[in-house]
Amino acid sequence: MPDSLTPQTLNTLRLPIVFTPGAWQRAVQLERSDHAGKLQIDRLSHVLRAAFEAHLAYPQKPYVLFEVVHIEPTDHFDHDPLLQLSLSLLQEPGQPGALLIALAGEHQR
């Protein structure tokens, strides 16, 4: 992994991170929990770590897929336990760059 920490990779990891509403809701947002604040921080940390690890594994790719444990209400037992997300570099003309976390296939460029 130290070979992945090139100046370009480090600069990419310093970019702001944005989530699509769907990715935020399905990967981070928790409802009806007594400890929602702490759990959301834990979830956010987990998602960001998984995104950074995916980026470090494939630093030259502009679009990388990664997975996190899927959050669903307990009455949904038939769902896939993993949620597939993507990390991509947003570069719009005249706008600062950012890293986008989206549901897989939601925001491909």
Is the overall model pTM greater than 0.75, yes or no? yes
pLDDT digits (tens, 9 = 90+) for 69-102: 876 655 555 566 889 999 998 888 888 888 999 9
The residue ranges of every structural domain in the chain are 2-103
* Count of helices and strands (H, E) across the chain: 3, 4
Reported in sequence order, the residue ranges of the chain that DSSP labels E, i.e. its strands, are 17-19, 63-69, 82-90, 98-103
Confidence of residue 108 (pLDDT cuts 50, 70, 90): low
